[in-house]
Chain A
């Protein structure tokens, strides 16, 4: 799967995207977030970003949204356009 990071989170991680095989046992976007946050610094930013938002295949979803290994997942702070 492809994972994307944007804005302040992208800067905190020093990374805009990552290709990853969905780890076994991982079924939701919230679980993936928790897994990535356990990788130590700077990945704790995934846990500490306030009101972190998720998108799966370019649609905003909740933390309980299901994942497959073919999905494009994005993590980002609340949007501030307009």
Chain B
């Protein structure tokens, strides 16, 4: 399987990343992708977010993302996965995360894409700090993210 995992400051080209999953091959029948963006209207802050800073744990981040992709591979029939997560200083409207999965059939692509995002949210070592007119604050983890990840746990 073709796996690309990148943790980077610069933006990425969604079209080029999606196209990369099927370039030069004729066995891909489906590509599902997700793009996460920085929102201005965070519920945790009374005033609009002006800047979002992403911190991570270099080394562990790539390892954690690799483990998540590996788990996805054991659950679904996949042909390729691309995960890109930005770090550093971002502003509302900026792309922050990208996950795309290619497979022969859409069911595997959709499910694996959602699984990877749910696990990334709760297991990959990234932390967001919001800055608004009221100052800076670290974003609290959300229980709904734990619930979303728990859905995938086998009985």
Cα(A6)–Cα(B59), bound, Å: 13
Cα(A67)–Cα(B55), bound, Å: 26
Whether A65 is near chain B, meaning CB under 8 Å from some CB there, is no
A77 to chain B: closest CB distance in Å? 7
Cα(A55)–Cα(B140), bound, Å: 19
Whether B69 is near chain A, meaning CB under 8 Å from some CB there, is no
Is the interface on chain A under 10, 10 to 19, 20 to 34, or 35 or more residues?
A: 10 to 19
Contact of A51 among B59, B63, B128, B141 (CB under 8 A): B141
**CB under 8 Å from chain B, chain A span 42-81:** 51, 55, 58-60, 74, 76-81
Whether B124 is near chain A, meaning CB under 8 Å from some CB there, is yes
Whether A82 is near chain B, meaning CB under 8 Å from some CB there, is yes
Q: How many B residues have CB within 8 A of the partner chain?
A: 28
Whether B39 is near chain A, meaning CB under 8 Å from some CB there, is no
CB-based contact A80/B120 at 8 Å: no
Question: Chain A: which residue is nearest B128 at the CB level?
Answer: A80
Contact of B36 among A10, A58, A82 (CB under 8 A): A82
Contact A8:B138 (CB < 8 A) given known A58-B63, A82-B96: yes
B153 to chain A: closest CB distance in Å? 15
A-B pairs, top 7 by smallest CB distance, nearest first, are A81-B126, A78-B141, A7-B127, A58-B60, A8-B138, A82-B121, A80-B139
New contact pairs (11) apart from A58-B57, A78-B140, CB-CB < 8 Å: A6-B55, A7-B138, A55-B60, A58-B63, A74-B57, A74-B60, A76-B57, A80-B138, A81-B120, A82-B97, A82-B124
15 A-B interface contacts by CB (under 8 A): A6-B125, A58-B63, A60-B123, A78-B140, A79-B121, A79-B123, A80-B127, A80-B128, A80-B139, A80-B141, A81-B97, A81-B120, A82-B96, A82-B124, A82-B126
